[in-house]
Amino acid sequence: MRRGKSSYMKINLKELTINKAHESLKKGEYTVTDLVNAYLEVIKEKNSELNAYLEVYDDVLAQAKVAEEMFKSGTATLMTGIPMAVKDNILIKGQIASACSTMLKNYTATYDSTIVEKLKKQGVVFLGRTNMDDSAMGGSTESSIYGLTKNPHDLNRVAGGSSGGSAVAVSANLALVSLGSDTGGSIREPASFCGIVGLKPTYGAVSRYGLMALGSSLDCIGPFAKTVEDVEIIFRAVAGHDVMDSTSVSEDTYPKPISKSKLNIGVPWSLVDQDGVDTKVKDNFKRAVESLEKLGHAVKDVSLPNLGLSLAIYYIIMPAEASSNLARYDGVRYGLHVDGKNLLEDYLLTKGKGYGKEVRRRILLGTYVLSSGYYDAYYSKAQTAREILKQEFTTAFKEFDLILTPTAPMPAWKIGEKSDPLSMYLADVFTVTANIIGVPSISIPSGFIEVEGKSLPLGIQFMAPHDHEELLFAIGKDFEKLV
């Protein structure tokens, strides 16, 4: 119920962090209900234009009351009462999870994903589900069956993808924090385009149980927030072994102590200086490097001879895994079903109408590289190249603590500008590597550039060795002071 001069109308959402919210809630400066209502007001005002949320859950205020009881009973955690948005491919029991696909448009989750289960126990308030590319395949959130999500910095530009809705929810103050998934950059690219922080954890650090699978050896769930500290808090709250996910870490490996304050940072200049990278992005990146050097960090060129093959490796392995994972949606057990003259025609019509162009394109590509006569020529060679790339990074990390690149080779592009799929694939050139080799990676805002009279955000990306997210958090907090 709306009140006259409610305390929730005085909350500065733009400057709010998890710690600030927690302290205010503990002190009774406002309640969880007040905090949630503040975000609901912004959602009501802005979401019709941005299209970040597909749905605001009808039990939000009931969740807030549960969190308030936790504060009263003394069982509240740092995450209790924190309003969070969730990407539409992460399961919450009893809620629709459609992956923004016709195939699963009305699918209602029958169980909680592990990450949601953990956060529920800590009293998080889930505001609603956010927009994304169809089946998480895309880099702009333009392929969603619910329409595109717009960038809050310029409504004529994309938000990035595939987790565009989750990024915009945080950037535009429609949620304090959010969850996304990252298979080749789907957290980090929209974070860069929207001017916020996005983390792709070490593969296996956060359970994938309850995440709709795209590329099973690549997929990760990770957080969006406005600060590195908030991303770290969420990561600490959800990381750890899960018996329901055979690929999750085998034991509690976090946190690892940092033994030094000044870090050795490697930059693959041969990749950064290539022609496809926007000149303004290069200039912004060079300024970021200078800032890191002023902080006392050593930044040097790193040789990674096969780094340029990452995009080719990714666009063989990811479609191959996607074609296998999406085979389960056959219209028999759940999801869309289209009647044909026989069982085969049922399958053909269901698949044809259930998936958009980009999803069908990747399924066909994946089926091709896995087919007889082409498996060895493409898929097997890509896996061999993947192992070589892993070894190159293992060697590089013996000398360097971190690897640094821009997050994306360009700022957010105009809506509809990259209708050619190949040009959109090239936007993943810096992000796919972390997924291929399984290391943690973070995108941090690195300033703004002027484009056609609009101020557009850019990001830089750090990669760390496996299980060393703490290095990303340390360098991120350091760099935030300068931006």
**Residues 372-409: pLDDT tens digits?**
999 999 999 999 999 999 999 999 999 999 999 999 99
Residue position matching structure tokens 């290391």: 439
Where are the domains positioned within the chain?
7-238
Half-sphere exposure of 445 (CA within 13 A, CB side): 21
Beta bridge partners of 463: 403, 441
- 454-463 and 125-130 as β-strands: parallel, antiparallel, unpaired? unpaired
Among candidate residues 204, 200, 215, the one with its CA nearest the CA of residue 239: 204
**Residues 441-458: pLDDT tens digits?**
999 999 999 999 999 999
Identify whether 6 is a catalytic site residue: no
The single residue of 140, 163, 186, 310 carrying the catalytic annotation is 186
pLDDT at 1: 35
The single residue of 24, 46, 87, 291 carrying the catalytic annotation is 87
pLDDT at 8: 62
DSSP string, 447-464: EEEEETTEEEEEEEEEE-
Angle between helices 32-50 and 18-27 in degrees, nearest 10: 140
Beta bridge partners of 461: 405, 443
- 402-406 and 264-267 as β-strands: parallel, antiparallel, unpaired? parallel
DSSP string, 316-358: HHHHHHHHHHGGG--SSSSS-----SSHHHHHHHHHHHHS-HH
pLDDT at 334: 86
Identify whether 143 is a catalytic site residue: no
pTM, whole model, 2 decimals? 0.96
277 φ, ψ (degrees, to nearest 5): -95, 125
- 3-class state of residue 361 by DSSP: helix
The single residue of 24, 162, 166, 443 carrying the catalytic annotation is 162
pLDDT at 433: 98
**7-238 has which CATH code?**
3.90.1300.10
pLDDT at 251: 66
pLDDT at 2: 42
Identify whether 186 is a catalytic site residue: yes
pLDDT at 4: 41
pLDDT at 436: 98
pLDDT lower than 50: segments of the chain: 1-4
